[in-house]
Structure 1
Amino acid sequence: MTIKKPNLPADDIKIIMRPRDGFCTATHRATRIGDSIRNAARLTQEETRGDIFRVNGRQNIIVVSTPSEERARRYCEICKLRMGDKEYEASAYTAAPENTTKGIIRGIPDEDSPDNIERHLVNEHNPTLLHAKRMGKTANAIVVFEGSVVPHYIYYNGTQHRCVIYKKQYETCYTCGRLGHRSDVCPNPQSKRCRGCGCDDPAEDHQCEPRCRLCGKDHPTGYRKCHAKYRTPYIVKKPLWERRREEEETAKDQRHNEEGGNDFSVLEGERPTGNGDKDGLPKAFKVSWAQKAASGAHARFGTAAPNSEG
């Protein structure tokens, strides 16, 4: 059973650190990694007493949580980490804060700098937009909105752009072929694995029948058109959960009604017997025309009418 780690302080600033050059977080003690980050940020243990350093071995990254904007700025400036006598390249950036939602826009000019992208998006035309940055070397940009609503359209330098919800991906390493981390933070760059069939150290002329480990279809794991590699965002999951719960409640009520779930139904022993009316009272005794004729004849001759019961 996997034990869930406690949540980091909600009001803290979160910094994501991605070490490179084969740095493996699983082979270093967490305390040594924390000391290396402090030294790179030129901070002492006393100054970072309120900070938390959490190692994510699966993604091979480090998450730093701090309440200080000044220390967060220093952490984001880290570009190298030293472990013993070896130095590793690293990158760091601030994660999106709590109660925010991400979107994607396309068509960002290649020549626009990070400062220009931020200035063209974070302005009065997009009041809920908090931050924006380019996705690698592509023409796409990730935009962060306050709250749980992603607008259908936003404005970039005064021009209207379509905005869609950002979907996180199941990370696939194109270096070692394994799931869980990206190629730029691969802890085992010398280890090779075929993304098609999963065999270790494939030959250069290796041929196989690919089978995706995410969806089971006949394409390599992490194929860009594989729908299973994208995770459904929470803002999409939540209304689906609520709708499913409402449908289950409605179906439950319908089954209850179909099974005669009336709490005020009359017990079998209390039902009126015989030919009673709707109020449970006996109906008037019906007399046939022959009995009426016989009764009239007896009245004329002064004799008693025969008993109808026999």
Structure 2
Amino acid sequence: MEDETSMEHQLDDHQATPVHVVRRHVSPQTIILRLGTQLNLAKYPTYEVTNAIGVAAGFTAFEVRDVNIKARTLQNLVAATSGRESATQKLAGLRSLTLNGKRLDVTAYVAAEAHHARCVVHGLPKDIPDDQLLSIISIEDRHIVAARRIGQSDTILLTLKGATVPKEVKMGLWLTKTQSFRPRTVQCSICLNIGHRADVCPTAHEFTRCETCGQQFPGSQKPERTAHECEFKCFNCEGPHCARDPQWPKKHQADKLARIAAERRRLRSTPTDSTGPQISQTSQSRPTKPTKNNYQTIRFCRSRTVWRHGAAPLLRLRAASTLLNPAPVR
């Protein structure tokens, strides 16, 4: 953590008085803001939404410079990133905002870092609020960064420090097993679109669709309670199956891409270990020129490899050339 002292001016009796303010910089954190089904982000200018968030959070002029907000219209949520501790605390504590004179409820939580381990546990009663989860759940010798409920289910998503997933978690007096969290694409049960959940569906008050045939009904009407002719027809691909069929091929492909993207983010953000053995420049040996026989062998192998397998294995051949002619250690 790095402390940096900045200077503000307060006007007192027409005289500028310098006031020293300590800015505490931390590693950038992302706060996810869910506005629920009350707001369709695609229908509002992003500039107005971000300004409303800034006013509701009460950012200072210095905090505004360190906060970046992006609207994810497909997921119907807002992601705010900041490296200033005071700004992230204000964002995480945000519970409501006012947009165009309308008060909107906000659910805010800290997004998990890619190099943190995540797992799920099942069976926790639904009447336990999220703010009590950290006091109930404990893991031996592990620090729980965040805990939140997935939707309205009895499944709890845990974010832990470290790269490994524990086998067991203690919830109160109950010792239960964990399951690894597998990222996958979410599908709305109201509009049947892929990319957002039902609790943030932007069209929940306008209409809902039948999972079997994709027919559209008013938002206050349940399709399963309506007498209508139903035939299997997927709303997304028009195939002869239910829109929420777990065996839907395109859904499997989307889940696979989501897991690949999560793994790439984890590899990019994994901190490097700087405590490992370091090799000084004086101890590194310089490669010597290959002898005539070894040079001919490498040249022959290189030509056959390029002809059969392309130029990709040439890097391994270069390493083989060094191994055939080791340099003397000084």
Q: TM class by shorter-chain length?
A: 0.5 to 0.7
1:183 equivalent in alignment to 2:205: no
2:73 is the counterpart of 1:57: yes
2:112 equivalent to 1:96: yes
Aligned to 1:81: 97
Using the alignment, how far apart are the partners of 2:135 and 2:210 within structure 1? Answer: 43
> Following TM superposition, by how much is the alpha carbon of 1:154 offset from its aligned partner in structure 2, in angstroms?
2.9
Partner of 2:49: 33
CA contact (8 A) 1:172 1:221 kept: no
Residue aligning to 1:14: 30
Q: 1:98 to 1:169 in 2, by over 3 A?
A: closer
8 Å CA contact 2:37–2:203 kept in 1: the answer is no
Paired-residue identity, %: 21
Residue 282 (structure 2) aligns with: none
Q: Tell me the TM-score normalized by structure 1.
A: 0.62
**Residue range with higher mean Cα deviation, 196-205 or 166-175:** 196-205
Is residue 42 from structure 1 mapped to residue 55 from structure 2 by the alignment?
Answer: no
AA in 1 matched with 2:229: Q
Alignment check: 8 A CA contact 2:32 2:110 kept? yes
Q: Distance in 2 between matches of 1:237 and 1:55?
A: 23
Instruction: Give the alignment of 1:130-145 within 5 angstroms.
Output: 130-145=145-160
Q: How many positions carry a matched residue from both structures?
A: 236
Structure-1 separation of matches of 2:132 and 2:121: 15
Distance 1:200 1:65 in 2: 37
Q: Counting strand residues as a fraction of each chain, which structure ranks higher? A: 2
CA pair 13-160 structure 1, distance change in 2 beyond 3 A: same
**Paired residues of 2:138 and 2:170 also in contact (CA < 8 A):** no
What is the CA RMSD across the aligned residues, in angstroms? Answer: 3.7
- Does the 8 Å contact 2:192/2:235 carry over to 1? no
Task: Report the secondary structure of 2:49's partner residue.
Answer: helix
1:161 to 162, 167, 176: 176
The SS at the match of 1:47 is helix
- Alignment partner, residue 117 of structure 1: 133
2:227 is paired with a residue whose SS is coil
**Which one has a bigger Cα radius of gyration?**
1
Deviates more, 1:212-221 or 1:198-207: 212-221
Tell me which amino acid in the other structure corresponds to 1:152.
Answer: K
Structure 2 unaligned runs (5+)? Answer: 1-25, 265-303, 309-330
1:221 aligned residue (231, 240, 243)? 243
Q: Residues 148 and 219 (structure 1 numbering): CA distance in 2 closer, same or farther, change over 3 Å? A: farther
TM-score w.r.t. structure 2 length? 0.59
Letter paired with 1:157: G
1:270-310: per-residue Cα shift (whole Å, max 9, x none)? xxxxxxxxxxxxxxxxxxxxxxxxxxxxxxxxxxxxxxxxx
| Partner in structure 1 of residue 230 of structure 2 | 208
Q: Which amino acid aligns with 2:255?
A: R
Structure 1 residues without counterparts, runs of 5 or longer: 1-9, 239-254, 260-310
